[in-house]
Structure 1
Amino acid sequence: MDDSGKAKRLPQFLAAVFICIGAMGTGTVIGWTANINKELEEGALNDITTASLNWIGSIMPIGAVVVCIPIGILADLIGRKFTILLTTIPFVLGWALIIFSASAEMIYAGRFFTGMAGGSFCIMAPLYTSEIAETAIRGTLGTFLQLFITIGILYAQVFGYAVSVKALCYLCGIVPIIFAVLYATQPETPVYLMKKGKREKAMKVFEKLRGKQYDPSAEINEIQAEIDKQEALKSEFWTQLKTKQGKRASLICFMLMFYQQFSGINAVMFYSQKIFIAAKSTIEPKICTIIIGAVQICATLFSSWSIDKLGRKILLMLSDGLMALATFLLAIYFLVSERGLASSETVTSLGWLPLISLIVFIIAFSIGMGPIPWLASSEIFPPAIKAKMGAAAGTFNWFLAFLVTVGYGGVAESAGAYTTFFIFTIVSASGVFFILFVMPETKNKSFEEIQEELGK
């Protein structure tokens, strides 16, 4: 505690870090196939066909789709903390099924269960951090989800290069266990405790999160006022959804999820090694994949630092604009390569272009379109529809992830990889204009100010 009477922030950062170690587990699930596609096709776990590999890559989002809405309901019934700890079960079960798999179907089941756990974290981590954080650092802590997902992706990519597939599975499976041990030391959120009428316990949680000398009265009163408002609006879900604020918030959140997934991010993460092989990159594809993962972490760190300084809107516009440029360059490269528009010597001499393009793409995604759509769901929905619509937006996100990952291989094979990247380019470019004209800036704004702007 300093002399100015401000709250301590280290406990809040630690709480956000500990929950996001679970998000790191989500990253290992996303990044697991990135550097082992070839080994899986060669029978490292079982006899797997190319079609099976596509399903192994794409079935994980289906697990996430199934869990997004139920996990929000469960969080209100038994608490944020216990719900989050329960996700350890599908995480460990999923990795166990993959490790001891006797068939491709067991791997599918394992990917489905780990997808359930991963989808849960994408809903619960932003909810938990938004309910424990001060307004001044809410945006920064909100980016930790994406940061730790990128750390998990790099973890899987590096070990996918360095160890056997079976060893990689064990190393990924240990992450959720470490998460459970560390996160068990953290408190329930004061918001949930206040909802259950446990004011004294909420006061003690604030003492742990803000320091013993911090007076939480103002925050307690603010939370109680918000709870009272939600109670009054409990039966007004459809009424609130039909207001200008409800409609605009829903449009913004669902479109941000659309732009996030149809940027092509999950196709890049799941199939990065195959993309580099197809591009005939002069750098070893596995090394290229690891470079991409490392760049993603650095860019997400920048987002964590800048989001409460530069604001959400400018970062999203910059993100979409740069992603459109990167996928356009990839589309041109694959068009020239696949259609034979240049000599093989010319194509070989351009082997650096896929790596540079994907580095730009990952940097762009990580500074804006990666973390901010998840944060937006916790910031802009009106109280009466926030929980249900946030879960619905998360479900929509993972369903789109499934469509992109399952469709990428087929479209790339039948219409050419350049077609898929041209599609991603058009989507990202259109996102710039959507954000410019439709989305409000929420930096340093209270909930009431955000709602007022949405209603204009």
Structure 2
Amino acid sequence: MILIAQSDERSSCERPISKCAQYMGVLVATLAAFSIGTYLSWTSSALPLYNTNDTLSVSDQEGSWISSLVPLGAILTVIPTGIFADKIGRKKTIWITTVPLFLCWYIIGFVQSKIWIFLARFVAGAACGAASVVVPMFASEIAEQNIRGFPGIIFQLQITAGILFAYSTAFTDSLHVIAILCSVAPALLLIFFPFVPESPAWLVMQGQKNEANIVLKHFRGIRYGTEAELTRLEFQTSEMREIEPNISDLKNYQRATCIILGLMFFQQLSGVNILIFYAKKIFDDAGSILNSSTSSVIIGVVQVIATYFSTVLIERVGRKLLLFISASVMAVCMFTMSGYFRFQSSHDLSSFSWIPLLSFAVFIVIFSIGFAPVPWLMVGELFTNNVKSVANTAVMCNWTLAFLVTKCFQDIVNLMGISSSFAIFGMISLIGTIFVSVMVPETKGRSLEEIQIELYGTQIRIPTEDPEQREKHNKT
């Protein structure tokens, strides 16, 4: 009885007493993701307000640049941010990134100069790119292992919530008010983030074990036994120093690299960012049954709900099946919208004005449960630990494709018309279904070793996560 009592007391000391501090830390940090969402969808609410009384005159081409400068700026900061975060810390990097996310809203909303708007959108994009790297890094490092999926869920939800929020600001019909409202999220982050401790993983990397111990007790609970987690963090740090990732390592992962880059290609060229950036304009052109602002808000709500439920669906349905269904249904939605705009010019479709809204909503739902989360999930499932940091160049690829699609969309519309533009996106998604069928392996419920054998016919050396796993690995 005494031994059992001692064992129970010891285990209670090792278990976190409360996860509240972790949840609050993740929620505060991911306000940056909320801000990313507002910058992405601001154009939907704001661009239609230009060329009206007392506002700047903005041409279609200038509008395409205003939209695309955010992903263009993000391209430049993705890779340097990881290095910067390792040098000065995750917390300082996030706080520095938040400053331009806050200030750029007042330049965008109040300065009567297109050059300054272009510059502010570009700088904000650079901050968005940095935040897309360092915020998930920080959030995953402060969360304990049994809730490691929580930060990723919240990050995606915050982006979609930001998109919905920016759509909702369209009802104000004021560029100034939209900018002020959108600046609230980064302002809250600037105020509250200094009270969130630094990542314990980074503190261990810097040899600050005592500080890491204090931070772990803050996030896990005062009675939490930190020894085991500190040992694991020290081991991971030594592994990272022992195996320096290099871009040349990807030569051993040619098929995995092809799969990830292919999924990023079909994700961005599905046209999802076009729908997000130009939602209000598309509904105006389609003559939607509802007010264009109302339709945009409905789409935003649908996206938030679909993103939440996608986390449950991913754990129950195979990755490959989700990708296949997602690509095929997205193709159908794009072809439907293409057909609607094709016949709109020659027929009275007022009785069918609900079609664009329904197609848009179905597209967003199916994208949110398939091609939105699964490619990022598969980055961690196709690459071993020693090249996962190199594989994060997929983030830069993603932003690059987002820029190209957003910038070229207006040119394609001017050249071919909006109907043909949607048809092109539909064809790309249709090709994506073939790519998924032929190239993408099923990874759900399979070990990394099994996936490696299917892809390459052999197993690539896999660095293990902790000393106990490594000892077992060496014995086998």
Q: Write the distance in 1 (CA, Å) between the matches of 2:228 and 2:452.
A: 21
Find the partner of 1:237 among 232, 236, 246: 246
Q: Write the distance in 2 (CA, Å) between the matches of 1:292 and 1:280.
A: 16
Q: Write the distance in 1 (CA, Å) between the matches of 2:255 and 2:238.
A: 24
Contact 2:109–2:178 (8 Å) recurs in 1: no
- Per the alignment, residue 408 of structure 1 pairs with 409
Q: CA deviation at 1:380?
A: 4.4
Find the partner of 1:301 among 286, 308, 320: 308
Larger CA deviation: 14-23 vs 223-232: 223-232
| 3-state secondary structure, aligned to 1:143 | helix
Q: Write the distance in 1 (CA, Å) between the matches of 2:387 and 2:197.
A: 26
Contact 2:108–2:121 (8 Å) recurs in 1: yes
Q: Write the distance in 2 (CA, Å) between the matches of 1:452 and 1:129.
A: 32
Q: Write the distance in 1 (CA, Å) between the matches of 2:61 and 2:117.
A: 13
Cα distance change, pair 452–123 in 1 and its aligned pair in 2 (3 A): farther
Q: Write the distance in 2 (CA, Å) between the matches of 1:63 and 1:416.
A: 28
- Per the alignment, residue 56 of structure 1 pairs with 66
Contact 2:15–2:225 (8 Å) recurs in 1: no
In the TM superposition, what whole-angstrom CA distance separates every residue of 1:176-228 from its partner, at most 9, and x where no partner exists? 11112222222222222222222333333332222233334444333333332
- Per the alignment, residue 422 of structure 1 pairs with 423
Q: Write the distance in 1 (CA, Å) between the matches of 2:437 and 2:215.
A: 39
In the TM superposition, what whole-angstrom CA distance separates every residue of 1:312-349 from its partner, at most 9, and x where no partner exists? 444433332332221121122122224x3xx32xx222
Larger CA deviation: 246-255 vs 405-414: 246-255
Matched, 1:108 2:118: yes
| 3-state secondary structure, aligned to 2:43 | coil
| 3-state secondary structure, aligned to 1:87 | helix
| 3-state secondary structure, aligned to 1:242 | helix
Q: Write the distance in 1 (CA, Å) between the matches of 2:185 and 2:32.
A: 7
In the TM superposition, what whole-angstrom CA distance separates every residue of 1:107-128 from its partner, at most 9, and x where no partner exists? 1111111111211222122222
- In the alignment, structure 2 segments of 5+ residues that lack a partner are 1-8, 458-476
Cα distance change, pair 455–447 in 1 and its aligned pair in 2 (3 A): same
Instruction: Give the counterpart letter for 1:208 in structure 2.
Output: H
Instruction: Give the counterpart letter for 1:212 in structure 2.
Output: I
In the TM superposition, what whole-angstrom CA distance separates every residue of 1:337-376 from its partner, at most 9, and x where no partner exists? 24x3xx32xx222111000000001111222322343444
| 3-state secondary structure, aligned to 1:35 | helix
Q: Write the distance in 2 (CA, Å) between the matches of 1:133 and 1:446.
A: 23
Matched, 1:281 2:323: no
| 3-state secondary structure, aligned to 1:34 | helix
Q: CA deviation at 1:282?
A: 2.4
Matched, 1:25 2:35: yes
Find the partner of 1:156 among 147, 166, 169: 166
In the TM superposition, what whole-angstrom CA distance separates every residue of 1:88-131 from its partner, at most 9, and x where no partner exists? 12212322221331211111111111111211222122222232
Pairs within 5 Å for 1:209-228 = 209-228=219-238
Instruction: Give the counterpart letter for 1:62 in structure 2.
Output: L
Cα distance change, pair 248–85 in 1 and its aligned pair in 2 (3 A): farther
Contact 2:323–2:436 (8 Å) recurs in 1: yes
Cα distance change, pair 78–249 in 1 and its aligned pair in 2 (3 A): farther
- Per the alignment, residue 184 of structure 1 pairs with 194
| 3-state secondary structure, aligned to 1:212 | coil
- Per the alignment, residue 386 of structure 1 pairs with 388
- In the alignment, structure 1 segments of 5+ residues that lack a partner are none
In the TM superposition, what whole-angstrom CA distance separates every residue of 1:230-273 from its partner, at most 9, and x where no partner exists? 22221x62552222xx3344223322221221111111111111
TM (norm. structure 1) is 0.89
Q: CA deviation at 1:82?
A: 1.0
Pairs within 5 Å for 1:56-135 = 56-135=66-145
Instruction: Give the counterpart letter for 1:113 in structure 2.
Output: V
Q: Write the distance in 2 (CA, Å) between the matches of 1:213 and 1:306.
A: 35
Q: CA deviation at 1:450?
A: 6.5
Q: Percent identity?
A: 36
TM (norm. structure 2) is 0.85
Q: Write the distance in 2 (CA, Å) between the matches of 1:213 and 1:427.
A: 54
Q: Write the distance in 2 (CA, Å) between the matches of 1:133 and 1:322.
A: 35
Find the partner of 2:325 among 280, 303, 318: 318
Cα distance change, pair 355–91 in 1 and its aligned pair in 2 (3 A): same
Find the partner of 2:361 among 334, 359, 362: 359
Contact 1:74–1:83 (8 Å) recurs in 2: yes
Rg (Cα) greater in structure: 2
Aligned length: 447
Q: Write the distance in 2 (CA, Å) between the matches of 1:26 and 1:400.
A: 17
Find the partner of 1:194 among 189, 204, 210: 204
- Per the alignment, residue 152 of structure 2 pairs with 142
Cα distance change, pair 96–193 in 1 and its aligned pair in 2 (3 A): same
Q: Write the distance in 1 (CA, Å) between the matches of 2:230 and 2:155.
A: 26
- Per the alignment, residue 257 of structure 1 pairs with 264
Q: Write the distance in 1 (CA, Å) between the matches of 2:449 and 2:423.
A: 40
Q: Write the distance in 2 (CA, Å) between the matches of 1:39 and 1:326.
A: 28
